[in-house]
Structure 1
């Protein structure tokens, strides 16, 4: 029986979310679309500027309807989840009933538009880059830093769970820093595989193998606890730089996860507090009933108290991150350079037209960059609507990274070599 082949047995998603896209106003009336930041099988992401306020910048995800045909349900699901966490959603110029303020650590969807051939999602931009990249770049990194990062993630996911949403694909690539500032907050992105509890029982084996919970692999019905397991895996990696589960053989890898078979190896964990290890054990508990909830995790002394150590562990962690999660930086560099060039042109144009020399600095300072859902390689058969980064050169990836690539299509199956078929 194929491992990743079981479908959700939930209610059929209605087409309400796509019907409610703004069809009355063309997106070009409100936004100026600039350079392409990323492309994928179904969509592209472009930098956009508000016509009303040129200092406001966004990422616009543009989805081709023709390419989307047959996969509308996944897009409806993603839009519905994003709307649940976004403030001031407008439908035909009016606020959607029940609109609420979102959580500060969740990337927002601001507006949606539709024309004859495309669907447009206007989303928040963030500029700080991915979680692991920032840690490697830091000169100092402590257990307390890791604790602060996990606290932010837990607070955001606790909010999601309270609102009845399970992310189902929490991993470092979906955790972005809001800005390059040292004290920038973490933002959760990529809700393509998220599910609302009111949409029915969750049983689909989906997500990224290295971060997926045992009950998902066991093809059992599951719920919010799968996100807590993933946070446990992320916590483990943040403290040592390598994944808790790894094997060249897929069957062995899945067996490790199903058993919760992980260790705190010496010398990598010698300087890590017992409180941190206790915290991780409670999050990566195979027994779902005994596994912590987000609220329980937030109350743990490693998060809420002073149990996290202050020793600099940057050298060990960064070395292991580079070894086990080696990702080419050219993709992010390409996107960042594209945005900067575009903003410089915009700033120069603004300066020439207004005669004010200070606009360029302010424009670059206030810019926010995020390419939603774009950080990992994805299959063309992905039933969620995602965007892949532009690929212009050959790269090499570590075996551990290959194991942690997403199995993103709810209906895709794995053959013996771990490849989608």
Structure 2
């Protein structure tokens, strides 16, 4: 769906995006875009605006057009939404729903109490959102914990799926065979360079469920070739002592999703009906100590690609709550976030409040 054709109806022309939005702070940068925290002047609503210089799109038009085509079709409670598209002579602006609750792993580590039931509820939300995508003929192709963000800082906040840069809209005349995704989460058939389907997303959900229950990935090796070999054979274990207190039902659920043969692998609909999701087999036992220790060990900040920093969002939210947001532009707000030097707030290591917003890559 090239922007030059059907896309024309989506885009709104503007001479100056700042007439509509008050740009607050730069949140992060991706491969060819910058992301700005902005407030819509008319409604005072906070959004994240992805600013893409048209020059940077040269040769990459297909990638961004695919992301926009996918995002524009999607309206689901657990998926970050594309709310508006503006353009001027030099830039394309994607106005995205702002999610400010932080990363999945950070939230788990911060909890004092965490159970299989918590993990089951998270996976249920992910399955529901991915089933919605699959029903629309959309395959995400890069589901991983870093792309799962909490909507807000509320204790009972919902989880949101982001990052549609690798998504593919299935067509009756197209067979997916491009090897893509993140190594540890990619399905065997992708690595085998065989034609594949939406079943690749279900495999990834199985990997995520595995990590949520033990804190470490099912496949790991410093050597990519050895890692791929493990995945191709679907070789993984429920190691003792980490899995000793995990229910057989949880293990059965994972086995049906991390099934080597995509034809036998559970689809989202089947997974949603599994007793671990739909029934009451997920245990209430507190597994926080073991899981959080493993997450800290295996998913250290330094290992994560930090594409989006939520510290500025949370800082700004607090100012709003304290009624001090009317102080005018902050001193570190660039005069033009979409031009020149990018000012990214430093990581707030003290409270560890970050987001990895892969959608902004």
Q: TM-score band, normalised by the shorter chain?
A: 0.7 to 0.9
Which one of the candidate residues 30, 36, 47 is aligned to 1:40? Answer: 30
Q: Name the structure 2 match of 1:27.
A: 17
Q: Name the structure 2 match of 1:374.
A: none
Checking the alignment, whether the CA contact within 8 Å between 1:331 and 1:389 is kept in structure 2 is no
Q: Name the structure 1 match of 2:200.
A: 226
Checking the alignment, whether the CA contact within 8 Å between 1:112 and 1:121 is kept in structure 2 is yes
Q: CA deviation at 1:23?
A: 1.8
Q: Name the structure 1 match of 2:324.
A: 348
User: In the TM superposition, what are the counterparts of 1:119-198 in structure 2 within 5 Å?
Assistant: 119-198=92-171
CA spacing shift, 1:254–1:349, aligned 2, 3 Å? closer
TM-score (norm 2): 0.86
CA spacing shift, 1:326–1:72, aligned 2, 3 Å? same
- Report the 3-state secondary structure (helix = DSSP H, G, I; strand = E; otherwise coil) of the residue aligned with 1:33: strand
Q: Name the structure 2 match of 1:310.
A: 284
Q: CA deviation at 1:254?
A: 0.5
Q: Name the structure 1 match of 2:269.
A: 295
User: In the TM superposition, what are the counterparts of 1:256-275 in structure 2 within 5 Å?
Assistant: 256-275=230-249
Q: Write the distance in 1 (CA, Å) between the matches of 2:39 and 2:234.
A: 47
- Report the 3-state secondary structure (helix = DSSP H, G, I; strand = E; otherwise coil) of the residue aligned with 2:13: coil
Residue 49 in structure 1 maps to residue 39 in structure 2: yes
Checking the alignment, whether the CA contact within 8 Å between 2:25 and 2:312 is kept in structure 1 is no
Q: CA deviation at 1:340?
A: 2.0
Q: Name the structure 2 match of 1:71.
A: 60
CA spacing shift, 1:81–1:259, aligned 2, 3 Å? same
Q: Write the distance in 1 (CA, Å) between the matches of 2:326 and 2:310.
A: 22
CA spacing shift, 1:136–1:65, aligned 2, 3 Å? same
Q: CA deviation at 1:16?
A: 2.6
Let me know the Cα RMSD of the aligned residues: 2.8
Q: Write the distance in 2 (CA, Å) between the matches of 1:228 and 1:351.
A: 47
User: In the TM superposition, what are the counterparts of 1:309-388 in structure 2 within 5 Å?
Assistant: 309-328=283-302, 335-337=310-312, 340-341=315-316, 344=319, 347-348=323-324, 350=326
Q: CA deviation at 1:15?
A: 3.7
Q: Write the distance in 1 (CA, Å) between the matches of 2:233 and 2:309.
A: 41
Q: Name the structure 2 match of 1:62.
A: 51
Deviations 1:55-89 (A, max 9, x none): x110000001112211011111000000001xxxx
TM-score (norm 1): 0.74
Q: CA deviation at 1:213?
A: 0.3
Q: Name the structure 2 match of 1:83.
A: 72
- Report the 3-state secondary structure (helix = DSSP H, G, I; strand = E; otherwise coil) of the residue aligned with 2:83: strand
Checking the alignment, whether the CA contact within 8 Å between 2:15 and 2:88 is kept in structure 1 is no
Checking the alignment, whether the CA contact within 8 Å between 2:28 and 2:307 is kept in structure 1 is no
- Report the 3-state secondary structure (helix = DSSP H, G, I; strand = E; otherwise coil) of the residue aligned with 1:348: coil
Q: CA deviation at 1:343?
A: 7.0
Q: CA deviation at 1:336?
A: 1.6
Q: Name the structure 1 match of 2:336.
A: none
Checking the alignment, whether the CA contact within 8 Å between 2:30 and 2:307 is kept in structure 1 is no
